[in-house]
Every structure is written in structure tokens, then in C-alpha cells.
Amino acid sequence: MNRDFKFELDRSEVLPLLVGDAKEYLFIGGLGGTARDTTRLTDGGDNLFALGGAMGAAAMMGLGLALAQPKRKVLVITGDGELLMNLGALATISVLNPTNLSIICVDNGHYGETGYQTSHTGRGVDLEEIAKGAGIMNTATVQSKDQIENGAKVVRQDNGTSFVLLRVSTKESAPRKRNLDATACRIAFRNALL
């Protein structure tokens, strides 16, 4: 498959530009790289619940949270590998189309946690097209610096669920210590929110 995919951007540089003020959001982080990304974005704050396993759950956790908290903005940041595992979630989310839910998929075209095997997106699968096909109307791809501004707009828009595909290089996000105690994170998240 010959596609014009560029895996060049640095996730650590671009994600803060797409997200803006992280305090505005409740975050669900996928496992692996996006757990590190979201921990950095929120400075380890209690507005984040990041996975360490249970691969495939992030997008649907975002839907459950968005339905439960319609007045708060919910941002799911997940990886290509995790989303590929649960593509049906895009269909489920699109049918409900909550206006307070946004999804950023950080796509490096690889399964980084398991030794950087090439993922399906690294072989031509376009997750923005899949999100569109699922019926998500507000979508964007960000794979070069001139697309960042539009991507940030799509993340912020509030007339339906939005999906932004961020293509990045395999450069890892800087290591950041995180709490792997899911019970402590659950309780801290709820205590801060409820």
C-alpha cells in the first residue's frame, strides 16, 4: 500500500500543543506510551486515569466517563496498537456521539511496548478513515507541523465527538514515574472529581 503517511513529529512536542490547558479535561490514558504522555501532560494529576494493562479499554472508558460527566470535557489519549484492538469502540462511540468526548490516537506505526514491531498503521491502515467510516464527523490527521493548529481546533470543538490521529516518530516520550496502583488512581480520580 502506497500512502502518504509521515511518521515524523515528536509526540512530546506536539501533544501539549494539541491539548492546550490540560486542567480543562478529564483524561483517560491508554497503556504504554500514552500512559507516559498523559502523565506528563497532567503532571501526574488526579484528572487522569491511565491504563497499565487491560489493553483496548481506553476509548470505551472515555465514553463511560463522558456519559457520566456531561458537563466535563473528556479526552482519551490512546495508541495505534490499543485502538486497532478495539475498532468497534469507534462505532459504539459514534452512535452516541457525546459532544464532550475527544479522542487523540498517537500513531507511531509500531507496537512500542513489545519491541517496536510494525503495527497495521505502519503498513497502511488509516485510523482517521476508520473513525470517519464509523461515523465520527469531526476528524483530523496531524502529521506535519502546519496541521497542528487545525488538530487543536478539532480536539476542542464541541458539536460532537472528535477524533484526531497524530502520526509521530518512534521517539519515545520521556520516562515519567507513574502510579501503577489502579485502586489508588481510581480513588484519587473520584475524590478529585466528585
Partner 1 sequence: MSTTTKTWQAEVYELLRKHEVEIFGYVPDAGHKYLINTSIADPEVHAVSLTTEEEGIGLCTGAHLGGKRAVLLMQSSGVGNTINLLSLVKLGHFPFLTLVTMRGNFGEGNPWQFPMGQATQAVLEAMGVICLPAWTEEDVIPVVEAALTMSFKSGNAVAVLLTQRLLGAKEF
Q: Where along the sequence are the contacts to partner 1 (CB under 8 A)?
A: 26, 28, 49, 51, 53-69, 72, 86, 88-89, 91-92, 95-96, 182-183, 185-186, 189-190, 193-194
Q: Which three cell numbers stand for residue 16?
A: 501539549
For partner 1, the closer of residues 1 and 71 by Cβ is: 71
Q: How far is CA 8 from CA 53, 72, 106, 140, in A?
A: 27, 32, 12, 17
CB of 15 to partner 1, least distance (A): 21
CB of 71 to partner 1, least distance (A): 10
CA pair distance 136, 97, nearest whole angstrom: 7
For partner 1, the closer of residues 51 and 127 by Cβ is: 51
CB of 132 to partner 1, least distance (A): 17
Q: Residues 6 or more apart from 19 whose CB is under 8 A from it?
A: 25, 41, 75, 104, 152, 155
For partner 1, the closer of residues 34 and 141 by Cβ is: 34
For partner 1, the closer of residues 16 and 44 by Cβ is: 44
CB of 179 to partner 1, least distance (A): 12
Residue pair 143/8 in contact (Cβ under 8 Å)? The answer is: yes
Residue pair 167/141 in contact (Cβ under 8 Å)? The answer is: yes
CB of 89 to partner 1, least distance (A): 6
Complete DSSP assignment for 108-153? -SEEGGGT-EE-SGGGT--HHHHHHHHT--EEEEE-SGGGHHHHHH
For partner 1, the closer of residues 5 and 189 by Cβ is: 189
